[in-house]
Amino acid sequence: MSIDKLLLEIYELIESEDYEKSLELCNQILEFDENNKDA
């Protein structure tokens, strides 16, 4: 999944006030970012 899609999904979840799920996705992005720093 691309970052853009993840961000859009997070935005939609925040709009729907599903903060728990949006936090989960934020953590996925952070992990994704950490994993790609070494590249």
* 1 or 11, higher pLDDT: 11
CA–CA gap between residue 30 and residue 16 (Å, rounded): 22
| Average confidence score pLDDT of the chain | 82
20 dihedral zone (left: phi>0; alpha: psi -120 to 50; beta)? alpha
CA–CA gap between residue 10 and residue 24 (Å, rounded): 9
With 70 as the cut, is the pLDDT of residue 11 above it?
yes
The whole-model pTM stands at 0.51
Task: Report the pLDDT averaged over residues 16-26.
Answer: 85
CA–CA gap between residue 22 and residue 9 (Å, rounded): 8
Q: 25 Cβ partners below 8 Å, 6+ apart?
A: 6, 9, 10, 13
With 70 as the cut, is the pLDDT of residue 1 above it?
no
